[in-house]
Every structure is written in structure tokens, then in C-alpha cells.
Structure 1
């Protein structure tokens, strides 16, 4: 009897354990199904995000291509009057800013998807540094901040790097430093040792709390002490690009004292003979040899005419085609040396047009994709288009001509220019800020405290009428007032009052 009961208890326990095991297996299966569903939904959401970004990017890039393209043509025209040239410069800068916002959003998606490739070329390193410093010196001065640029030791004349991405990293970091600093200043040091470049940006801004330091490189995250606007992706992109270039970025910060960002990148030096071959030649007015025929295929008339306006003055014979079918009909008679092809066209798209050109052996001319579909760059394709042959709208004229020269083996003819000076001239100093008297500064300070915009503008106009020497001072404060940047105005007025004897 005891044996029978023991066997029965053991069997019941075994059945119970088996039932529990089956329940746990079912539970894991249900959990796995939910995880698979969640993953599928996340993938679908990510694909939808990518499709949306691609579509909106294309819609924005198409008109920007015409705006920036013609702005570049007008900026290079010596016959444009000075006051009009300034307006053209504003249009170009504004267009470049809008393009940078689009690029920033795309860059995060590209890097996360592993689709962003570096374009490493020789570049004039000191010139790049001066361009970047020139961008922020005036911005800092107009906010009442000091800006100290110090190259430590001799900088290499030419290095090899992706100029666009290096510029993007430094502009994002320096832009944040100037934007978020209200009092004090920004320092920027550059040092190159054994082909390793170290960039250090230090500011006296609000600083970052220790608990927030580990999150500041996440997209759309901004510190709690930050009051200025911004998209919140600048630091994210800078960190991602630094990692992509094989470098490292470090940050240290003390709340209410300031922050320091340090970037280390490997920038190999390019020797003079090699640099002379690789650095692009500017001020091109033509090329040596027979005239080359170029076919521009694009359904947008303005984009076709833009390329024709750029290329014909240099001696190229340009023919236009508004669709893939028109391209196929034009190629046999025109026999182009090179073809610029858009992708999104009615009828047959650019990819299918290229396939038919090659399959029907209509031409073996080099083909460049010139499209606003930035996400297609670098993707595998069966048309034989390499990433270097995929140019994105809006294009930069010099970069397009550099590519064209490489593909056709052109020897460019440049405009006669005076020989370069042995030493780089110092950048022109901006006009000094000549403040009014103590009474006017005090009155302005009170109006700024009230946030009374009309009163501030009226007072500034009164100061400007009283003495033309205060013109630059009035101009700087008027711009800040219209931007409602009263903190920067307060800092300038404080410095002016401290400096007044």
C-alpha cells in the first residue's frame, strides 16, 4: 500500500511539474510572439520614418537646388552691383542654413542605417580653420562675447579628410558654444602632432549637470540650463561623425562655469607635390581641348537650365532631355561625352533609362546621377553607378566641376590671378563698437529690462541720429533686439558701462 501511494504521489508531482513546464513554454511562446510583433511594428515605423524623411527631403531639395545654384552663379558674377551682391549673399546663406537642417536630419538616419560614406580628399587646413573662425568671431562679438582662436604650433598646410564632415563637427560644437554662452567668451584651440589633430572648444556658458552629461549626445536632448532654441541634433551628429571618422570626442562641464569639448581626429598630412595635384582649381573659365558634349536629363526645366547656365560659359555643348524616353531618342544623334541623369521622372525613371542605354549599347559615356533622392546614394544598384558618381541636389558648382574634370580628364583654364602673398593676410577687423554716454546706456538698460521692443528701437534710432560714430553699436543692438535676445544686449551694455571711464 505504501509503495502504491508513493508511486501515486510521485506521478502526481510529475504531472504537476509537466503542467507547469508546459505553461512556462506557452508563456515564453506568447512573449516571443509579442516581441516579434513589437519588432515588426518598430521596423515598419522605422521604414515609414525613412520613407517620410526621403520624400520630404526630395521635395525641399528640388527648389533649393535652383535657389542655391543661381545664387552661386550670381555671387561669381563681377557685374552684380555691391548692394545686390549682399542680397545674393543673404539668399545663399539662408539657403545653406535650410540645407544644413535637412542634412542634419538625414545624417542621423544615414549613420544609424550604416549608409553614410566619407568623401576623403586633400584640403587646405589653415584656410578651413580661418573660414570657420570667421563665421563665429562676428557672432560672438555681436553677443558681447570674446572669441579666442589659438593654433598651438604650426598647422599643416594640406591634410586629407572629409572637409564637409570635419566642418560640420566644428560648426556644431562652436555654434553651440556661442549660442548658449551669455557672458564671458569662447576659446578655440587647434593642435596637430604626428598627424593627430586635437580641437578644443571651451566656453563660459551655463554648463551641464553631471546627471545630464551621459544623455547630451542623444537626439533631441538639451540640457535643463539651456534657454536658447535649436533642433537638439547638433551634438548627436558631431559625436556620430567623430566616431565614423575614427576619432574620439570628450566633454567635461561644470554647472554655472562652462563646458569643454575636445575632439581628436587622425588627419594625415599631404605633401606639397601631391597637394598641387589634388587641391581643386578655382576661377575656372574653360578647359583645354575639343568641346565636350553633355546631355542633361531632368524633368524639371529649371534644373536643366541651371546646369546649362553653369556649363555653357565654360565651353561645353549642352543638350537637354525632359524624360527618359527623350534621352533614349537624343543620345544616338547627339553622342554625348557625359550624361547627367535625374532619378524621379515620369514614364521611366533614371535607373531604367541607364539600364536601357547600356543594354541597347547606345552610349558608353560616363553617367552621373544628379538627384535630390539623397537616401539612394551608396545603395547597391545594377546600373553600374558608383557612390562617387551620385551627386546630390542642391549641388555645389565647384564640386560638380571637380567631378566633371576627373571623369573627362580635363585640364582646366583658370582666370589670371595675382600671385599669392607669402603670408596669409589677417582677416579684416569689424568696425569698433563706439558706445554712447552713460545716460543713454542706462536708459537702454532700463528698456531692455522691461522688454519694451519699440522703446528700444526708438532709443537706438535717437542715438544713431545724435552721432554717426555709434552706427555699428546701434546696428548690433538693433539686430539683437529684433531677435529678442535681451540677454546678449544686457551683456554688451554691461561691458560698455564697465569700460566707460
Structure 2
């Protein structure tokens, strides 16, 4: 039954979509009113984080400039290649990475595994950026670190509650100032002291050796921990408008630039962090990996200290706010998603905004920044195994082998609870690579754990699809509604249906027939159906 919008329908917590921002479902065309360039620039605003500078500094000081640059390049290529199919799927079908993961080899409940990984990514990097901001507040204003951690946590709450609408304004309006504060002093440094660049390029690092494969892989492992960033990019890209003949160029440009293209901006920041750490190493000592110290060292070259310190603090605070609203937002989406599927209760996204912030605050107070590279190196293996598995399923299983359904499916009852294709490939890649990282397979292969995660996930995903013959992707192919979910060009259909449970209107990709009454039910009401009466039979 197709029904026009019912303006007087009752509202409850589960359907206040302006506030909840389509947490667990397809983003409808009626909400996606932004142009591709606006969505792309909003997504890129989320990569304003300064952790890249710390990561690059740590790699550069440890392994030398040559090894660091090669490591950063290797990681960037892998992240771009694996991120492209995920970004395309999110933008084309207007779903987040968890919904993509469900239908790309993991199953309805199987993707909870990867949601935990992504949720962990958001609070690890929130804590990292929060620690950097607290360092800036301490240097510039004398604020104790413990209080700085609290301030950096609370400052994002009012901004992140209202989702995409508020975040798009924040990212667009703050980006010009952020670019000015970051790029101008770096350009000045290179102009006034060009010899510093050649000295940096010759820097051998603590290891004191030339190009070394083990050093490159160890450095790449740290940089590859950022692979899960594509999930945060997709949280914005899912609001892309439909791709048409008129907007095709801008659509693709925005998807590529703000999707996998984020990594090239990140790689530049990592290389810059390695350069700045080298430049201030003598004066800053162990603090050379702290971005606030790096930029203060540059600002003080051409302005008085009384002005350099406040500007460095402004840059750090601005960067922290831009990225941590994204971390808090994306984290709230993924934790809500997992909790609702497991418990079949929907507490609202705001509960998990606060939970994510509390966990991040605990990590900050525990001084996680002091052992950041160790945390990221371990985490990288899990993130790589997940992202590569999903990317391989899309590229190989969907488009080459055609064993995985090309059109995405995420609704309860349409998918098997667990699909062994993605789950087995992911677990094998993660467990083996983590064992390598901790030296269980010997010191010779230990540095290569990230590459092992890439290879195992990329190979085992199609192998499992062939072994299972793709039978565990779809529990059923008919959702009980005659109209297809996608038109002839693969664009999600915008026909409006009314859910008979919550009496709200939803577009075609987000609804299916009830297993008990045959009437239309939305995906969220089906998710929270505790009796299972509305689930369609196999």
C-alpha cells in the first residue's frame, strides 16, 4: 500500500529522525537535500584531526625519513584501494558501513563483530584528539591535563546531538580558518629555511639505517590503523543525492575525494608531522610528537611568543572540535546499531553519544597518548581485516564472481543471522595477523602483520564465497512488496510507504512486508520486534 505523507502521525523516540539522523537505516531521498560538493566538503572536514602529525612524527623519529615516507605511501595506497568500493556503495545506496557490512559477507548479526571494531576506533581517536587538545590548553592557558580532558569531552556534546545538519554547517564554516592556520606557517618555514627539508630527508632515525623492509612495514602498520576512517567518511557520504546525468561529474569527484581520497590528505599530514618533529626535535625533545609543540615551534619563527602560543592553541582546539564531533557522531551510530540488534530495544542515539564520550575520557585520563603507536599498531590488524573483507566481497564476490547479491541488503529476516564468508575471512585475518604482531610466528615475520591481514582477508573472502556457493547471503529474495527497491539504473526508489506499526512514512528501500499481517513495516520497527512475529519466514 502506497500512502502519501501523513503529517499528523504520532511520534516517538524511535522515529524522531531529524534528531536521530537515520541511525539504523537507509537515508531517504527526502532528507538528502545537499549538493554533492556540500556533502563532500562536510566529509572532508572530519579529517582535520592532528593525530596524523603525531603518527607521522612517531614513524619518522623511529625509522627515519625515507622509511617513514615509504611506509606512509604503502599505507595510503592500500587504504585508497580498499576504501573506494565502500565509499561508492555508501554514496550510491545511502547506507552506512555497518549496513553495507551486513550484506557483504557478514550477515545480520555477524556484522556486530565489526561494529565493535569501528566503535572502538571512534573512541580511541576521540581520546587521541582530546589528549592533543588538552596539551594545547595546558601550554596556552595553563589548564591541568585532567581538566583539559574533561573540557575536550564536554565541548562536542551540543554540536553532535543534532547530526548531519549541524555538522555540515560546522565543517563548512570552520575549514577556511583551519587551512590558513595550518598551511601558512608551513609554507613560510619551507621558504625561509629550505635547507631544513634536505636535512630532514637525510635523517636516519633512531634505527640509524637506510631503507629497510621491516621498518617500512612497522611504520605502515601504524598508518594502516586509520583504515577504519572510511567508516566515518561514509557516515557523511550516505547523504549524497542520487547520481544523475547532470551531477555525475561532481558526484564522482565528491565521492572519490571525500571517500578514499581522504587518505592522501592524511598522508600529507603524516609526512608533515615527521618533518615538524625533526625540525623541533632539539628544542622539544620527547614532546616533538605533540602537534601543539610542532606548530608553536613554527609560529615562533615569524611572530612573537605571546601571539604564537594562542594561535597554536586555536589551531589545536579547532582541529579537535572538527574531528571529534565526527568521532562522537559515528561512534553513537555504530554502538546504537549493535545494541538495538542484540537487545531489540532502541534507546536513542544520544545515550551512546554520552557512553562513547565517557569511554574516551577514561582513556585520556589513563594517558593513552603516551603509548599511542603501540595501541594503533595492534588495532590496525583488526581494522584491516574488516575493511579488506568487505571491500573484497564487493569487488570480487559481487562484481566478478557474482556470488554475492549486487544490490545491498540489511533488513532483518532478509539476511541470515551469520554469513560464514565474511566472518571466517575476517576472524582468520585478524587472529593470524595479531599472532604475528605479538611474535607468535617468529620475529622474522612479525613486522609484516598488517600485510598479512590484507592478503588473508583478500584471498579468503572469495574462497569462502566459492566454498559456500554464496548460499548464506540472502535468507529470502522476496520482501513481500511488489515494487522493486531500486530502479533500472540501480538508484534507490523514492516511493513513500507507511509503516503500520509506528505509522510513519518511509521510502521503499527501508520497508518490507510484515510476516504476521502482510502490511508494510519499516526496518527499525522490525529490528525492535522482540517476539519475531513480523519477521518473514525463510
More strand by share: 1
* TM-score normalised by the chain length of structure 1: 0.21
More helix by share: 2
**Larger RCO, structure (CA 8 Å, separation 6 or more):** 2
